[in-house]
Amino acid sequence: MNTENLSPEQAAHFLDQNPDATYIDVRTVAEFAKGHPKTKIINVPIVFFHPTTNEVFPNESFDLVMEETCAKDAPLVVGCEKGPRAEKAVERLQIRGYTNARSMSAGNAGWAAAHLPTTTDNRDGISYVSLLTPAKRKKKKKKAKH
């Protein structure tokens, strides 16, 4: 898969110029809560880390939340802390049929280093829990109909 990588400055410009674009922050809930780019953003972790061993666990609900939240042709910029999780997430999205996703190479660390605006806003519609709960409810309703 070919993944387009944007610098933080390119990502900020892309998000600013595309009102329908969304930044998908694939870091953990705890990482996201410490601060993230101030733009149209949602938090959908690609993995979770065990709190004491740092063992990596895939987020089994990543696909579900993305499918309930973002259209397959929506312009997306995917970021993490430094880049690798974002690239993996974009590859996963492309496999699932997303056609307009790109990664931000330097991640949140690069965004902050470029002195781009950040926030700790984690309200409904942005936070992972606020996206996960309705996605799971919708899935249950679909199963009940079948």
Q: What is the pLDDT of residue 2?
A: 63
What average pLDDT does the segment 8-17 reach?
97
Whole-number Å distance between alpha carbons of 20 and 22: 7
45 contacts 129 by C-beta, under 8 angstroms:
no
pTM, two decimal places = 0.93
Whole-number Å distance between alpha carbons of 43 and 111: 16
Q: What is the pLDDT of residues 53-87, one digit of tens each?
A: 989 999 999 999 999 999 999 999 999 999 799 99
pLDDT top residue among 145 and 88:
88
- Determine the structural domain holding residue 73 and report its residue range: 5-117
Question: What's at 34, amino acid-wise?
Answer: K
Assign residue 102 the CATH number of its domain: 3.40.250.10
Total structural domains within the chain: 1
Q: Which tokens hold the place of 44?
A: 């959908």
In a domain, 12, yes or no: yes
In a domain, 70, yes or no: yes
Q: What is the pLDDT of residue 1?
A: 56
In a domain, 123, yes or no: no
DSSP bridge partners of 36:
119
Whole-number Å distance between alpha carbons of 2 and 72: 17
In a domain, 46, yes or no: yes
51 contacts 126 by C-beta, under 8 angstroms:
no
- Give the distance, in angstroms, between the CA of residue 89 and the centroid of all CA atoms in the same chain: 8
> Cβ of 107: how many Cβ atoms within 10 Å?
25
In a domain, 23, yes or no: yes
Q: Give 146's pLDDT tier (boundaries 50, 70, 90).
A: low
Burial bucket for residue 90 (CB in 10 Å: 0-12, 13-18, 19+): buried
In a domain, 132, yes or no: no
In a domain, 137, yes or no: no
In the three-class reduction of DSSP (H, G, I as helix; E, B as strand; rest coil), residue 42 is classed as strand
